[in-house]
Amino acid sequence: MSEPDEMGLTSEAALGYEQCFVPAIFDQWPPRLIEAAGIAAGHKVLEVGCGTGVLAREVIKRVGPDGGVTGLDVSESMLGVARGICPDVDFRQGNAMDLPFEDESFDAVIASFMLMFVPEPELAVREMWRVLRPGGRLVIAVWEALDQNPVYAGLVDIATRQIDDAAGSSLAWPFALGKDGRLAQICRSAGVGDVDISAHEGRARFPSLDGFVRTEIQSWVLADSVDEDCLEAVVGNAQEKFADYCDAAGAIDFALNAVFVRSKKD
């Protein structure tokens, strides 16, 4: 197994993310984000927190040979997978809170499902706004709050009871910016102009409930901190709680909803 990178991710974990979470969750979002950002042929586009490049590799098709796409992520393991899949995108390692680009460098800046993991999200948004050209659009997507995503809310509850409060908090973390207008508040505090807020319905589809639960619990947030007995207890509880979301073959399909904030720079 390879050595963990700055984010504690190995190349094997990054490849697992691409093979599991991208088809289950993230493949559906690029067309909506591209439309929200008004991306067209010839545009220069930055994706902040690009992961394995699921969005960036679709954007490069839209901007064509006269445009360009830069994908930035702090994880070299994620970037290694991204470069292998789409070498036409300029994938770079870097920090969202200190973007290595000149002012007004891009026609569109997109951050999809990453801002909740940034230590100082307001600073990251301020940086995104700085590198956006006048007339360009900033689009940020986060997951809606847990009360709009009941399966994940249920999983948080199970993990809290069967493991501990820290495990539940870790699983709830990705949904923290989707409640009480928090994302819009961050954008306004960062100096972003008028923001348009919209809710978007999505789905999550995993081949098995067991695989879904194990992948979430053993993801980078909790890593190897959960022993097999606890994991079995979580899976058992989930099989009871989420039975109505599963088909006869054991696959699970459920709502996973998001919030977009969009702003055009004057």
pLDDT in tens, 116-171: 999 999 999 999 999 999 999 999 999 999 999 999 999 999 999 998 898 899 89
Which residues make Cβ contacts (< 8 Å) with residue 48, sequence separation at least 6? Answer: 72, 96, 99, 109, 110, 111, 114, 124, 128
pLDDT (0 to 100) of residue 3: 85
Which residues make Cβ contacts (< 8 Å) with residue 243, sequence separation at least 6? Answer: none
Q: Is residue 256 part of a domain?
A: yes
Q: What are phi and psi of 213, to 5 degrees?
A: -65, -45
Cα 130 from Cα 160, distance rounded (Å): 40
Q: Are 256 and 204 in contact (CB under 8 A)?
A: yes
- Of the pLDDT bands very low, low, confident and very high (cuts 50, 70, 90), residue 217 is confident
Q: Which domain holds residue 183?
A: 11-264
Q: Is residue 26 part of a domain?
A: yes
The CATH number that applies at residue 144 is: 3.40.50.150
Q: Is residue 81 part of a domain?
A: yes
pTM above 0.85, yes or no: yes
pLDDT (0 to 100) of residue 41: 98
Count the domains in the chain.
1
Which residues make Cβ contacts (< 8 Å) with residue 68, sequence separation at least 6? Answer: 44, 45, 90
Element (H, E) at 79: helix 76-85
Q: Is residue 6 part of a domain?
A: no
In this predicted structure, the answer to whether residue 77 has a pLDDT above a threshold of 80 is yes
Q: Is residue 3 part of a domain?
A: no
Per-residue pLDDT of 9-32, as tens digits, reads 889 889 989 999 999 999 999 999
Mean pLDDT taken over the chain = 94
In this predicted structure, the answer to whether residue 112 has a pLDDT above a threshold of 90 is yes
Q: Is residue 173 part of a domain?
A: yes
